[in-house]
């Protein structure tokens, strides 16, 4: 298990170095940072001095090493636009996005898994047909349309839930949480549902396909021959064998959700990283963009690694190979 962990971590580190190279190239070669930082009246002398001070005359390798060293310490430089530390900006915004994605993921699993099992087990029932039909709608509707429709229904017409913002937040250290206040939770509902619509249908369809496959397996028939009650066979013996792809999908999709939450964040004016990124693009704020790229990739890589480790935890067959390798 330890060898496995080390191997996965080394892989992850290598991927991050490659991403850092990309981010660095963008940072270094998209426009001249000196041009961005100095004002109109700066003399050539000022510019040369600044260039020297920023270390832009050093060799590529030296600059890249410096970039990586800084990035590892969480230093991505200073935003061109509001002259603030990029890391501080992201720290402010990250909790909002994270909580949104977390709740959306929970919704997608809590709704998607049972719906998938039901559509597989009661294949021709009315409930299964309704679920199947609505899943097509869920896959087809773009999330901003879902968001706008939700706002229209629950905020404008019914007035039950807020249409924008995060509500009140509570600070726990540097983390500002909206989960602890009633208004924060209320503000979270619509964006989370809107973000999870696609996810729910994805999970449901995956679970359904896997269940149909698994229910044909010999050990399911044998479990029935042992007298295990049908519901237990379906929800315990069969479902557990279906969870592997669901874990992969969820792990991958959390990364996607964080990256693409920016649509939902824009619709709901949610003060998350997506909004920060959209603003950065508008103002060609390259340090923010580079940091966003690095952080989103980091999340992807961490999730991938976690997914692999979870595999080993769920499926004893994968665990065993490494156990045997260690003697």
Partner 1 sequence: MSDVVLDVQNLRVEFPTRKGILTAVDDISLQIRQGEILGMVGESGAGKSMTGMSILGLLEPPGRIAAGTIHLSGDRIDDLDDTAMQSIRGRRIGAIFQDPLTSLNPLFRVGDQLVETIRLHTDLDKSAARERAKDLMREVGIPAVEERIDNYPHQFSGGMRQRIVIALALCAEPELIVADEPTTALDVSIQAQITALLKRLCRERGTAVMLVTHDMGVIAETADRVAVMYAGRLAEVGTVDDVVRRPKHPYTSGLMGSIPSLRKDVAELQMIPGSMPRLNAIPPGCAFNPRCGHAGPRCHRDIPRIDSTHTGAACWLGTKGEVA
Q: Is 51 helix (H, G, I), strand (E, B) or coil?
A: helix
C-alpha gyration radius of the chain:
24
Q: Output DSSP code: residue 57.
A: T
Closest distance to partner 1 from the beta carbon of 225 (Å): 4
Closer residue to partner 1, CB minimum distance, 227 or 327? 227
Q: For the chain, how long is the longest CA-to-CA vector? A: 87
Q: Which residues bind partner 1 (CB under 8 A)?
A: 217-219, 221-230, 237, 240-241, 314-317, 320
Closest distance to partner 1 from the beta carbon of 239 (Å): 10
Closer residue to partner 1, CB minimum distance, 26 or 228? 228
Closer residue to partner 1, CB minimum distance, 2 or 225? 225
Closer residue to partner 1, CB minimum distance, 182 or 227? 227
Closest distance to partner 1 from the beta carbon of 214 (Å): 10
Helices (H) and strands (E) in the chain, counts: 14, 2
Pairwise CA distance, residues 81 & 101, whole Å: 27
Closest distance to partner 1 from the beta carbon of 215 (Å): 11
Closer residue to partner 1, CB minimum distance, 164 or 311? 311
Closest distance to partner 1 from the beta carbon of 243 (Å): 9
Closer residue to partner 1, CB minimum distance, 35 or 218? 218
Nearest to 105 by CA among 263, 250, 221, 202: 250
Q: Is 262 helix (H, G, I), strand (E, B) or coil?
A: helix
Q: Is 144 helix (H, G, I), strand (E, B) or coil?
A: helix
Task: For residue 115, give the H/E element and its range.
Answer: helix 86-121
Closest distance to partner 1 from the beta carbon of 250 (Å): 18
Nearest to 144 by CA among 281, 289, 260, 278: 260
């Amino acid at each position: 298990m330890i060898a496995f962990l080390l191997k996965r971590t080394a892989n992850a580190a290598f991927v991050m170095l490659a991403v850092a190279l990309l981010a660095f190239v963008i940072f270094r070669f998209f426009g001249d940072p000196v041009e961005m930082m100095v004002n109109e009246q700066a003399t050539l002398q000022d510019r040369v001095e600044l260039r020297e001070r920023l270390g832009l005359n050093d060799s590529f390798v030296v600059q890249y090493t410096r970039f990586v060293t800084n990035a590892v310490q969480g230093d991505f430089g200073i935003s061109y636009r509001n002259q603030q530390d990029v890391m501080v900006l992201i720290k402010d915004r990250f909790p909002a996005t994270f909580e949104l994605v977390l709740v959306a993921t929970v919704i997608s699993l809590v709704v998607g898994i049972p719906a998938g099992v039901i559509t597989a087990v009661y294949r021709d029932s009315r409930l299964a047909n309704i679920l199947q039909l609505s899943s097509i709608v869920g896959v087809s509707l773009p999330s901003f349309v879902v968001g706008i429709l939700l706002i229209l229904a629950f905020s404008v017409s019914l007035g039950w839930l807020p249409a924008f913002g995060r509500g009140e937040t509570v600070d726990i250290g540097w983390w500002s949480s909206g989960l602890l206040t009633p208004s924060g939770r209320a503000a979270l509902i619509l964006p989370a549902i809107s973000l999870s619509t696609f996810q729910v249908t994805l999970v449901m369809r995956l679970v359904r396909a896997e269940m149909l496959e698994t229910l044909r397996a010999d050990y399911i028939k044998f479990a029935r021959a042992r007298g295990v009650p049908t519901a237990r066979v379906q929800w315990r013996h069969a479902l557990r064998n279906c969870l592997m792809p669901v874990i992969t999908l969820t792990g991958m999709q959390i990364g996607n959700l964080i990256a693409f939450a920016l649509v939902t964040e824009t619709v709901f004016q949610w003060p998350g990283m997506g909004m920060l990124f959209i603003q950065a693009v508008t103002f060609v704020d390259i340090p923010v963009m580079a940091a966003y790229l690095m952080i989103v990739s980091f999340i992807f890589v961490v999730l991938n690694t976690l997914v692999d480790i979870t595999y080993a935890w769920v499926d004893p067959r994968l665990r065993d190979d490494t156990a045997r390798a260690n003697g």
